[in-house]
Amino acid sequence: MDYDAIVVGGGHAGIEASLALARIGFSTLLVTQRLDTIGALSCNPAIGGLSKGNMVREIDALGGEMAHLIDRSMIQFRILNRRRGPAVQAPRAQADKFTYNRLAKETLEAQANLALFMDTVVDLTLDREQKRYQGIVTERGHHISSRVLVLTTGTFMEGKIFIGEWETPAGRLGEQAAIGLGTALRAKGFPVGRMKTGTPSRVRRSSIDFSAVEVQEGDRVMAPFSFDYTSVDRPSEDCYITWTNEETHRIIRENIGRSPLYGGKISGIGPRYCPSIEDKVVRFPERDRHQIFIEPEGIGTQEMYLNGVSSSLPEDVQHAFIHSIRGLEDAEIMRPGYAVEYDYIDPLSLYPSLESKLVDGLFIAGQTNGTSGYEEAACQGLIAGINAAQKLKGEKPLVLGRNEAYTGVLIDDLVTVGTKEPYRMFTSRAEYRLNLRHDSADQRLTRKGWEVGLQRDEQLTRLEEKLDRIEAVKDLLAARSWREKNALAALKMPEITIDVLKETVEGLSDFDEPTLYQVELDVKYAGYIDRQQRQVDRFERLEAMEIDPRFDYDTVEGLSSEGREKLKVVRPFSVGQASRIGGVRNSDVAILIVHLRRGGGRV
Amino acid sequence: MSRYDTQDIIYALATPWGRSGLAVIRISGEGCRASLSPFFSSPTALIEAKNATLVHGYLLDEGNARIDEVVLAINTRGHGYTMEEAIEISCHGSIAVIQAILSLLGRIGMRSAEAGEFTFRAFIHGRLDLTQAEAVEELISSVSQSSRSLSLSRLEGRLRERIDELKESLLTLLAAVEVQLDYSEDELDEFVFPRHALATLIESIGSLADTYQIGRLYKSGAKVVLAGSTNVGKSSLFNLLLKEERSIVSPYRGTTRDYIEADLEVGGIPIRLYDTAGLRESEDLVEQEGIVRTERLIGEADLIIYLVDSTDLGHIPAEDGRTLVVYNKSDLVRPAADTLAISAQSGEGVDRLLKAVEDRLKRSLPDIGEGDLVIEGERQWRLLEGAKGALVRALELSDSVDVLDVVAVELAEALTNLGELTGEVRSDDILDRIFSGFCVGK
């Protein structure tokens, strides 16, 4: 055996997967088509956002790397939705994409147990029964073996880029696609489909008329995504805002037939939540303008990202419509926008551990599973890496609950319901959103990261100290009064903030801001959280009823035929997961419960 | 989800809705005895009762007032139909008593059982054998049908459409809020909370829920009390009405023996008619007590027929929505032209009286306005009320504090309630609504 583990792909999923495996102690090889683009921010030069910022902090709490990378490369920081309520606030940062990219490669290079190799994987070797993974085959003819494999191909597997009538096999503009692997996997019986996504043009900073656009500044105080330190010191750059107009829309409408999407050249399904500008114009004809954020791609570059006008229209049309936009009349396009279509593998073919049901030892993560977004990719990469390591250790996989983490919601949705479009996280996908605040990610997940061997003892100690401080603040408040009222009770009132109490309650200002903030939210939301707890308890009881994935559903009498088929496809880890499968009836769940109670769930 | 859960304490009336000598209400779930004991006259006896024993006593409301004299049949865990700790309440088969008990159980945190839920629990706990595959299949499919949309079978046609409409409006409202939570402030147009739409929705759900009174009236009936001085002919009228009406069950003495009650039906509305002790001053303590009870009965009545002797007018109360003044002995003295006159002796005018009773009962109901849409089931009503309550809290929250995350919690709770009526709403449905209704995404 050449390595314990191989990770294919050096994107956000591949980085986390390979670091997790190597850090836990397994000899790992990362194979990528291009070492120079490890951790590339292919689209938006930003990390975080609503629910995504929470996921970055979840990755950090488990012992992943993404938060460190963005903390050291951010060039603007903002907390989004300050006015919408704490449960849905999240951090977002603009990244200097060169720094991000370089730090990612540096981190991998500095990691013990981790080897990096530039080549393209074209096939997998399996055992004689085609049931067990054995190794990879590369374009240059290398055969490399390992005990487990994590596949993170992003948009590269049979990737094809479209700009108007022009198309080329590529995963990013100017970077060739990984040809062969998708075909090989299809031949092996994997359910491979096509998805599509897109990116806007980048224009030259010096060609923008800044007097005609609005400035969007970052927050005065930058805060780290990681729980490992309490402050970041980075430069803060401005972003800018402008809008499309009727003329822009007219140009797009008149040329819509030349779009590969509307012309029928692209068959892959694109994301509804991140539509191209031509989609927005067609679907919302009543709107006379659409917002565009102009974001710097980094320090030391002239390239500016036009967030909001992703397009695959021909370049002459892109030129025309961009020049119709206020502030961009003379904009010099440095890279055109384009659409990319790529192979993905239906995530219903995965277990909640992200291991394939078809081939033992093969884990799949990231965009290959039909998701979209750096954060979505990274958290899957981390979980796939952790679970590949768990498998090597012969231990149970780490499966996060929907009430524990957005990461849990994401993976559960993928492997239980599947996805028809590139899946992006939204806060509304989480039933127990109030429990998934970004500031509590460490409380939710640090211990789990420690249990799988990724978090160090000191992180666990740090968490315990934080929990102690939270309790100490609550005790202090309970013991003190505020205007003849118990201070803890006073904090329950909407208008009384912890800052108000700090002025008069002695000893309170000795505690750090994050602790005080947590106490404030815990107390203010207690009523809602209690109400939700009943549902959570119910949810957890069903999740706790485990089913062996190898369980033979044919031995259970009384299951509906559709339910039986669906259960055999998804092969859930728990009754809870079974109950979320479309087509599985309540009666099927009831029969399963009885069967399991009678000890029929073990193989 | 609640359908798979066996942690809640559930209750249901096991005997048919309606009048009978005896009614049985079944309760199942761990801790049900402890939950009920504070509302039972012999709490210790209830808690300590052994399996398959009977406990006699009174059910009490929160104010310690007696609701009814009952016999409780106890099953401890591992026994009985559901194999759970269970109580069967045998109470008097009066609709008023049944309603009072069911309402108490709801208030003390038990949940109205869904169709087939007792059987479901029996099955879950292995009471029924899985090898009887066919029977199980049939049994469970009835549970699953009800769970897909429990009340669907009862929610026919236009009512179903109406609830779907309400759900649609709520979904649109929720999507408008969720989009604000799923996207950042600067990506969206200026947000104005759809206060008006929410207020309208609260009103619509409220007025649909209010039709429950109408449904309840047709289902549970109305209390009509015959009142008036002694010897105005109440008993004659009582007997006459019973004779006229063919759908009488049979008159029997009330447990308190102070009045006689009987059932009849007027214009499709089941009526419980009470012939009360005459209202007169009395020195007799027993009779005084009877008068107190009569007054209480009058207080609870949906309609009071106040009978006046045309030959000896005496006190005549003012007519109001709940009081119908009727002049008896029209055969002896011709009453004023615009009055409702009858002769309990000859039967003259009784038709008109019945029509007047029907009109009055219907008039006292909330204006339907929803056409013939009427909520009949207690469970449907509870779900609608639950939805309304959550929406009212959402409205208050949106007025007082500037945080949408908790407003969304309330809206989602309302949607869950409506979803239980017509089928579940998934987060995908909300996202679909967001994507089709809002131009979002950078």
Asked if the Cβ–Cβ distance from A541 to B5 is below 8 Å, we say yes
Contacting residues for A4 by C-beta, under 8 A, at least 6 apart: A21, A26, A27, A28, A146, A147, A148, A392
Q: What is the DSSP letter of B49?
A: P
Q: Is the pLDDT of residue B355 over 90?
A: no
Query: Using the beta-carbon criterion (under 8 Å), do A590 and B143 form an inter-chain contact?
Result: yes
Q: Which tens digits make up the pLDDT trace of A278-333? A: 988 988 888 899 999 999 999 999 999 999 999 999 999 999 999 999 999 999 99
Taking 50 as the threshold, does the pLDDT of residue B370 lie above it?
no
User: Domain A457-543's class?
Assistant: mainly alpha
Q: Residue B127's closest CA among B86, B172, B164?
A: B86
Dig out the tokens for B63 from the structure: 């104010």
- Highest-confidence segment of A262-271, A386-395, A425-434: A386-395
Has domain A202-341 been given CATH number 1.10.220.10? no
pLDDT tens by residue, B118-127: 777 777 776 6
Q: Determine the pLDDT at residue B219.
A: 64
Domain end marker among B321, B343, B363: B363
Residue B410 has pLDDT above 60, yes or no: yes
How large is the ipTM?
0.82
Mean pLDDT to the nearest integer, A541-562: 87
CA–CA separation, A79 vs A91, rounded Å? 4
* B368, part of any domain: no
pLDDT on residue B279 = 56
Four-CA torsion B191, B196, B199, B201, nearest 10 degrees: -90
The one-character DSSP state at A152 is -
Tokens of A266: 């692209």
pLDDT for the residue numbered B245: 45
Chain A residues within an 8 Å CB radius of B394: none
> What is the tally of structural domains in chain B?
3
Q: Of A550-559, B39-48, B85-94, B288-297, which range is least confident? A: B288-297
Structural domain for B432, as ranges: 157-211+375-437
Q: Does B135 touch chain A (CB under 8 A)?
A: no
Please say if the pLDDT value at position B254 is more than 60: no
- Supply angle C-alpha B52, B57, B62, rounded to 5: 115
Per-residue pLDDT averaged across B125-138, rounded? 50
pLDDT band, very low/low/confident/very high, at A562 (cuts 50, 70, 90): confident
Asked if B182 has any chain A CB less than 8 Å from its own CB, the reply is: yes
Q: Are strands A239-243 and A175-176 parallel, antiparallel or unpaired?
A: unpaired
What does the pLDDT read at residue A73? 98
Distance from CA of B141 to the nearest CA of A (A): 6
Three-class SS of residue A321? helix
| Least confident piece of the model among A115-129, A139-153, A365-379, A497-511 | A497-511
| Confidence (pLDDT) at B130 | 44
Residue A22 binned pLDDT confidence (cut-offs 50, 70, 90): very high
Pairing mode of beta strands A28-32, A3-8: parallel
- Which of the residue ranges A97-111, A379-393, A439-453, A527-541 would you say has the lowest mean pLDDT? A527-541
Domain shared by B221 and B257, yes or no:
yes
Long-range contacts of B245-253 (CB under 8 A, 24+ apart): B249/B19
The verdict on B104 and B40 lying in the same domain is yes
pLDDT tens digits, A39-74? 999 999 999 999 999 999 999 999 999 999 999 999
Q: Taking a C-beta distance cutoff of 8 angstroms, is the pair B71, B90 a contact?
A: yes
Q: In sequence order, what DSSP letters do the residues of B194-238 get, joined into one string? A: -HHHHHHHHHHHHHHHHTHHHHHHHHH-EEEEEE-STTSSHHHHH
pLDDT digits (tens, 9 = 90+) for A88-140: 899 999 999 999 999 999 999 999 999 999 999 999 999 999 999 999 999 99
How many Cβ atoms sit within 10 Å of the Cβ of residue A486?
Answer: 14
Does position A209 have pLDDT exceeding 50, yes or no?
yes
Greatest mean pLDDT range, A444-453, A490-499, B4-13, B282-291: A444-453
B190 touches chain A (CB under 8 A): no
In a domain, B419, yes or no: yes
Mean pLDDT, rounded, of chain A: 93
Contact B405 A88 (CB under 8 A): yes
Q: Tell me if B348 is assigned to some domain.
A: yes
> Which of A276, A586, A592, A596 to mutate against chain B (most B CBs within 10 Å)?
A586
pLDDT band, very low/low/confident/very high, at A253 (cuts 50, 70, 90): very high
Residues B95 and B203 in one domain: no
Over residues B67-84, mean pLDDT: 90
Question: How far is A368 from A13, CA to CA, in rounded Å?
Answer: 10
Average pLDDT over residues B51-56: 93
Do B226 and B191 belong together in one domain? no
Q: Which residues contact A77 (CB under 8 A, 6 or more apart)?
A: A91, A92, A93, A94, A218, A219, A221, A222, A223, A232, A234, A236
B244: distance to nearest CA of chain A, Å? 51
Decide if domain A3-194+343-451 falls under CATH 3.50.50.60. Answer: yes
Mean pLDDT, range A19-28, rounded to an integer: 98
Closest CA to A382 of A116, A21, A49: A21
Percent of chain B with pLDDT over 90: 18
Domain definitions of chain A by residue range: 3-194+343-451, 202-341, 457-543, 553-597
Give the H/E segment covering residue A524. Answer: helix A513-543
C-beta atoms of B124 and A593 within 8 A: yes
d(CA A324, CA B312): 96
- Looking at residue A298, its pLDDT comes to 95
**Which has more confidence, B32 or B274?**
B32
CATH number at residue B29: 3.30.1360.120
The residue of A88, A291, A410, A437 whose CB has the most chain B CBs within 10 angstroms, and thus the best one to mutate to test that interface, is A88
B145 pLDDT tier (thresholds 50, 70, 90): very low
Is the same domain home to B188 and B221?
no
Asked if the C-beta of B30 comes within 8 angstroms of chain A's C-beta atoms, the answer is no
Per CATH, the homologous superfamily of domain A553-597 is GidA associated domain, C-terminal subdomain (1.10.150.570)
Residue B47 shares a structural domain with residue B141: yes
Whether B346 is in a domain gets the answer yes
Q: Please check whether residues B222 and B326 belong to one and the same domain.
A: yes
Q: What are phi and psi of A361, to 5 degrees?
A: 95, -5
Q: Which residue has the higher pLDDT, A52 or B360?
A: A52
pLDDT score of B1 more than 80: no
CB contact under 8 A, B405 and A433: yes
Q: Closest partner residue to A428 among B140, B181, B401, by Cβ?
A: B181
Question: Does residue B382 or residue A239 have the better pLDDT?
Answer: A239
Give chain B's length. 442
Exposure of A434 by Cβ count < 10 A (0-12 exposed, 13-18 middle, 19+ buried)?
buried
Alpha-carbon gap, residue A374 to A376, rounded angstroms: 6
Please check whether residues B425 and B385 belong to one and the same domain. Answer: yes
Whether A296 contacts A94, CB under 8 Å = yes
Is the same domain home to B31 and B139?
yes
Out of B4, B403, B442, the one facing A589 most closely (by C-beta) is B4
On whether the CB atoms of residues A372 and A378 are closer than 8 A, the answer is no
For chain A, what is the total number of helices (H) and then of strands (E)?
18, 24
In the predicted model, what is the mean pLDDT of chain B? 76
Has residue B235 got a pLDDT over 60?
Answer: yes
Instruction: Give me the helices (H) in A5-138, please.
Output: 12-24, 52-62, 66-71, 97-110
In the predicted model, what is the mean pLDDT of residues A466-489? 91
- B124:A590 CB<8 A: yes
Q: What is the DSSP letter of B41?
A: S
Q: Give percent helix, percent strand, percent coil of chain A, each to the nearest 5.
A: 40, 20, 40
| pLDDT for B314 beyond 70 | yes
- A71 against A548, higher pLDDT: A71
B169 and B223 both lie in a single domain: no
Is residue B207 domain-shared with residue B220, that is, in the same domain?
no
Q: Find the CB nearest A558 among B7, B133, B404.
A: B133
Higher pLDDT, A138 or B193: A138
Q: What is the pLDDT of residue A154?
A: 93
Out of B363, B395, B426, a domain closes at: B363
- Using a CB-CB cut-off of 8 Å, the residues of chain A touching B132 are none
Length of chain A: 603
- Does B18 have pLDDT greater than 80? no
In this structure, of A348-362, A485-499, B15-29, the range with the lowest mean pLDDT score is: B15-29
Residues B396, B351 share a domain: no
Q: What is the pLDDT confidence band of residue B189, given thresholds at 50, 70 and 90? A: confident
Closest CA to B47 of B36, B33, B59: B33
SS3 content of chain B, % helix, strand, coil (to 5): 45, 15, 35
Residue A396: φ, ψ to 5°:
-65, 145
pLDDT of amino acid B438: 61
Q: Does A597 sit within 8 Å of B126, measured CB to CB?
A: yes
Instruction: Please report the pLDDT score of residue B440 as a whole number.
Output: 55
Q: At what angle do helices A441-451 and A457-479 cross, to 10 degrees?
A: 150
